[in-house]
Structure 1
Amino acid sequence: MMDGEPRFVVKRLESEGISELEFKRSMEILGKVRHENVVALRAYYSSADEKLMLYDYYSNGSVHSLLHGQTKNVDWETRVKIAVGAARGIAEIHNEFGGMLVHGNIKASNIFLNQQLYGCVSYFLFSNMAKTRLISTSSDVYSFGILLLQLLTRKTPAAVNLVKLVNSVKTKERAANVFDPDLLKHPSIREQMIKMLQIGIRCVANSAKKRPKISEVVEMLADIDISSRVSRSLDSMSQEGKLVFLEDVNVGPVFEIEYLLEASAEVVGKGSFGTSYKTILDNGSIVVVKRFKGVNPTFKDFQKHVELFGRMNHMNIGRLKAYYYGRENAFVV
């Protein structure tokens, strides 16, 4: 595709046992499903020996790529948003056409990330297209439970029997043994993690009758989402008046704000928003400190903007390493 042109993903369907008339009828139904957490089917192609489905392209990639690719740290808020978005998308699919729609193939590689990093489900089936009667709304819930366990453990179902792993956990204390070590670094989210683990265990129950409906799962995850936002707000408040280093950035030694203010500095630029200084750290590393003047945002607004900028990673954009917001000073490194 040329830059600026729409991008799509082409899904080639194994069409054995599906008549062309049945396929076209199914595509017309699937194409009417429109929801913010469902990847839209935009077009299809059908012939005697070829059946294709055309979907929107998501530049942030799949949940599988995020969890098991080169991304070092995946924060808790992102994992919660993935779970909430995917659950809402599946619930929308189950609600369509009197329950005749099922996803049939829920897995991390079929869940994509939208611009807000919520999960969006793709590649679902019309019930008549399913090759086996084992595919149902209940089996979708089971597969979604596996996805929750992946988000919590960052292990792949192909490498570890996730159901056996979590079922071996009998107490909240032992539950910590199954979580991704990166999540365990943040004690404030431990209760939320355990709640999501309990939801996942219910979803993968052996008996289909004991599994919750996906609509119930959406409500349970919504409570975790609210708790996650509250925790993040409290964490933000605790960072006011501190030098905050961004994750996944090689900043060399971590130091206190007093060191940065007392270090020798050379003015390298002045502008309407403040002055930039060249500062040499103890290890010889050189950073630029931008001190703001005449700019008085709230701490939450300041943090929101610097963290958004901090996520940018491009060879032609200076990398934000840390920031500080206090009563008398606000600057970025």
Structure 2
Amino acid sequence: MASATSYILFPLIFSLAFALEAARPRQSNITLGTSLHPSTNPTSWLSPNGRFAFGFYPEGTGFSIGIWLVPSPENTTVIWTAGRDDLLVTKDAVLKLTREGLKLLQNSEWRLISRYIYTSTGAFSASMLDSGNFVIYDSNFNVISETFDNPTDTIMAGQVLHTGSELVSSVSETNHSSGKFQLSVQIDGQIVWCPAASPDISEDAYHSIGPYLEGYQGLNLDDNGRLYLFNGSATFNLTKGFWNRTTRVYRATLDVDGIFRLYSHNLELNTGQEVLAEIPKLTDLCGVKGTCGLNSYCTSAQGVVACECLPGFDYLDGNRTSSGCTRNFTTSGCYLNNDNTTYMSTLENVTWSVDAYTEQTYSTSKEDCRDACLKDCFCDAALFQVNRCWKQGLPLRYVIRDSTEYCATFIKRVNMSAGEGHVSSVAENPAAAPVTTTNRKFSTKILIVSVALITGIISTLAALMFIFYRYQDGRYRRMRRNREPALVDEIAPRSFSYRELREATDGFKEELGKGAFGTVFKGTLPRGQRVIAVKRLEKVVAEGEREFRTEMRTIGRTHHKNLVRLLGFCDESTNRLLVYEYMSNGSLADLIFKADRRPGWDERVGIALDIARGIHYLHEECETRIIHCDIKPQNILMDDNRTAKISDFGLAKLLMPSQTRTFTGIRGTRGYLAPEWHKSAPISVKADVYSFGIVLLEIVCCRRNMELEAEADAIILLDWVHHCFMAGELEKLVPDEVDVIELNRFVKVGLWCAQSEPGTRPCMKNVVMMLEGNVDISLPPPGFSS
């Protein structure tokens, strides 16, 4: 009942807020210190013409911060959201314009609402413009920050989606978090539509359009409703022009279904919105790749899309049928059609994006294609189309029902009841004959002969199967590496060949850095032009391919905004390489140790929380608990938005056992080692907690844990911080102006984490809560180790 009441009250609050805003005097200039509140006036800032508002809007059980179109109190359209993947804001929050930009007060803590709406040059005022753009000015009224430079899922008339930028759809009409699809403007002028989790745009795009020429500066939307590309002298039109009237507002949005739509809002007649164009224009929405998850197939009728699991599969999430499916049985190793244990289910007119591990073969009939997969140890599914047959392993992606051309999909299944004396209950198994038992009385001699004969046959078959398996394994091993896409969170990373990565890095030419686990090189994937970081592992445990791939799948299934994403790997012979997303802003060490202008206090607070949340995920929230073993500023990388992400997690167990205790000293990270490393004691997650404590103090003070040039009592950072804390002289630690209460809290957390005894250190969940100010922190004991 409470949930139902909230759904009723939020729209009423939203409508009342807009009505009150309309009655309030409109302003175009917002001065420093001006604030907004979610549930009391003012809740938003209006543009001078009253068409756009910036502020709090209700979403779910809380509030979000963004910009929306206000044609009337009853009709609102969100065009931009700040921190769209952050937690919702509570009703007691305060949004305030400060010198650093827009800051949010929540749970007694101030933080920047978005790395897109802040500035280091000193904000002076702000405006919600009539165009739908929210801007921040300096004291000379120069624009130093604007939302038009960082769109979410929408561009407005007068806005440009620059080359290299992208739009990401929302989850739903009522949830504006990042959704499943993205639209990217590439450097060659093309505009590409693809799933947001796709690692290779060229292979996974479901639509593209553009001139295929460099020099185009981005996607433009003008006041006539015309979408076009422009290179300074020539234009490439995506749509024609419509009406140029002051009463019309145009916007183009990548909607939740992956379609880019151009809308017109007639404010004079207040008739709501009108769809002027759709790109791509599809008669079947299943043509949008990624509409349904892996191992499920998409069907549509009268504009309604449904996702259904393949035979033998169940939904990963019954409440979100588009999330994909997983097998409802488990198998160990290779399984063949012995004793009716396997059979094929058939789906007529169902096809998928072929990523076969064998070259296509020509089959005279679908029965031949079906049987070829049934007899192949590595085949999980086969596709028959126009006398051609493809064999493939799981997962299957972009599966759709296609009635335009005859095709058939075969899914290998296991008859769980084979050999038990009754027929399998699976209706799709007309070919799997029931196994029956007949009672016969054998004499002792006949029984002995029969047993001996059967034993000999089984032994011979087992030997033949072993030889066949080894032959097939050697034949298909390399081809199978290319069949596992990294599209969504549940799927293992993609397997690359050594040749692909050598070409992508131009012969491992540009070195980005060298760490404990190996050397990192910069590379670019072909066609999609995606920049990657390739780590060539050194001193890796000489384990089997299966064990290495298992570790890669474990690391690949981790997905958190504060972890560097593993996109793929290579394990050819002795070559072991990892492919990561490229982080353009270097490491935390570069930011706090080498930068001419160190980050401000608020940014350092955000970085510390980013790291803590990432470690907490590794320790307690991912499918397999991961101990990092080497938390240090060099392993914290910064993305385009200065979000901190942890790298090299899960790699410690890939090192030779003798290296786990010696590589840190050699690599210069001894100052981050927990005391138990030197005692040959068992290593737990608390070793990471200790390392985080040292990193936290380095972030607070913007200096290394050991500086020989410092005064005698300040050489060891941990000793110096403890001395200043006990003496009540924390101002010595941070020369710039900071929040004293926050500084005291962060120092106490660092000292607690750096305790000598692992049992005394807090877990990362409590560390996050302490940093956020949600729990009280007692005085740390003096039992720390430097």
**Pair in the same fold by TM > 0.5:** yes
1:222-279 CA distance string (max 9 Å, x none): 228xxxxxxxxxxxxxxxxxxxxxxxxxxxxxxxxxxxxxxxxxxxxxxxxxxxxxxx
Opposite residue 90 of structure 1, the aligned amino acid is: I
Q: Give the alignment of 1:243-282 within 5 angstroms.
A: none
CA distance in 2, matches of 1:104, 1:45: 23
When residues 17 and 127 of structure 1 are mapped into structure 2, their CA distance, relative to the original with a 3 A threshold, is closer
Matched, 1:101 2:626: yes
Opposite residue 38 of structure 1, the aligned amino acid is: L
**Residue of structure 1 in register with 2:530 after alignment:** 6
Matched, 1:167 2:716: no
Q: Give yes or no for contact 1:102–1:136 (8 Å, CA) kept in 2.
A: yes
SS of aligned partner of 1:125: coil
C-alpha displacement at 1:140, in angstroms?
0.6
**Residue of structure 1 in register with 2:754 after alignment:** 204
**Residue of structure 2 in register with 1:280 after alignment:** none
Matched, 1:19 2:543: yes
Q: Give yes or no for contact 1:45–1:52 (8 Å, CA) kept in 2.
A: yes
C-alpha displacement at 1:154, in angstroms?
1.3
Matched, 1:213 2:763: yes
**Residue of structure 2 in register with 1:190 after alignment:** 740
**Residue of structure 2 in register with 1:180 after alignment:** 734
When residues 196 and 18 of structure 1 are mapped into structure 2, their CA distance, relative to the original with a 3 A threshold, is farther
CA distance in 1, matches of 2:690, 2:765: 14
* Greater radius of gyration (CA): 2
Opposite residue 151 of structure 1, the aligned amino acid is: I
Q: Give the alignment of 1:1-333 within 5 angstroms.
A: 5-21=529-545, 22-96=547-621, 100-125=625-650, 128-129=653-654, 131=657, 132=660, 135-159=683-707, 160-171=715-726, 173-177=728-732, 179-181=733-735, 183=736, 186=737, 189-223=739-773
C-alpha displacement at 1:90, in angstroms?
0.9
CA distance in 1, matches of 2:683, 2:771: 24
| % identical aligned pairs | 29
Gaps of 5+ in 1: 225-333
When residues 158 and 174 of structure 1 are mapped into structure 2, their CA distance, relative to the original with a 3 A threshold, is closer
C-alpha displacement at 1:62, in angstroms?
1.3
**Residue of structure 1 in register with 2:64 after alignment:** none
Q: Give yes or no for contact 2:564–2:581 (8 Å, CA) kept in 1.
A: yes
CA distance in 1, matches of 2:705, 2:687: 16
C-alpha displacement at 1:124, in angstroms?
0.6
**Residue of structure 1 in register with 2:40 after alignment:** none
C-alpha displacement at 1:113, in angstroms?
2.0
CA distance in 1, matches of 2:743, 2:551: 39
CA distance in 2, matches of 1:12, 1:172: 48
C-alpha displacement at 1:25, in angstroms?
1.3
CA distance in 2, matches of 1:28, 1:45: 12
SS of aligned partner of 1:195: helix
When residues 172 and 8 of structure 1 are mapped into structure 2, their CA distance, relative to the original with a 3 A threshold, is farther
CA distance in 2, matches of 1:200, 1:38: 21
Q: Give yes or no for contact 1:82–1:113 (8 Å, CA) kept in 2.
A: no
When residues 136 and 11 of structure 1 are mapped into structure 2, their CA distance, relative to the original with a 3 A threshold, is farther
CA distance in 2, matches of 1:75, 1:170: 21
Opposite residue 5 of structure 1, the aligned amino acid is: Q
SS of aligned partner of 1:223: coil
- As a proportion of its length, which structure holds more helix? 1
CA RMSD of aligned residues (A): 2.5
When residues 180 and 139 of structure 1 are mapped into structure 2, their CA distance, relative to the original with a 3 A threshold, is same
C-alpha displacement at 1:172, in angstroms?
5.7
Q: Give yes or no for contact 1:84–1:118 (8 Å, CA) kept in 2.
A: no
CA distance in 2, matches of 1:73, 1:90: 24
Opposite residue 695 of structure 2, the aligned amino acid is: L
CA distance in 2, matches of 1:172, 1:219: 26
CA distance in 2, matches of 1:127, 1:68: 26
SS of aligned partner of 2:729: helix
CA distance in 1, matches of 2:571, 2:645: 25
Q: Give yes or no for contact 1:113–1:119 (8 Å, CA) kept in 2.
A: yes
When residues 113 and 127 of structure 1 are mapped into structure 2, their CA distance, relative to the original with a 3 A threshold, is closer
Q: Give yes or no for contact 1:141–1:203 (8 Å, CA) kept in 2.
A: yes
Q: Give yes or no for contact 1:101–1:126 (8 Å, CA) kept in 2.
A: no
C-alpha displacement at 1:97, in angstroms?
5.4
CA distance in 2, matches of 1:32, 1:137: 19
CA distance in 1, matches of 2:635, 2:584: 14
1:4-46 CA distance string (max 9 Å, x none): 8221112222234341332221011101111111111111112
Q: Give yes or no for contact 1:10–1:53 (8 Å, CA) kept in 2.
A: yes
Opposite residue 586 of structure 2, the aligned amino acid is: G
Question: Across the two proteins, how many residue pairs are aligned to each other?
Answer: 219
CA distance in 1, matches of 2:587, 2:543: 31
Opposite residue 142 of structure 1, the aligned amino acid is: Y
CA distance in 2, matches of 1:43, 1:206: 38
- As a proportion of its length, which structure holds more strand? 2
When residues 11 and 195 of structure 1 are mapped into structure 2, their CA distance, relative to the original with a 3 A threshold, is same
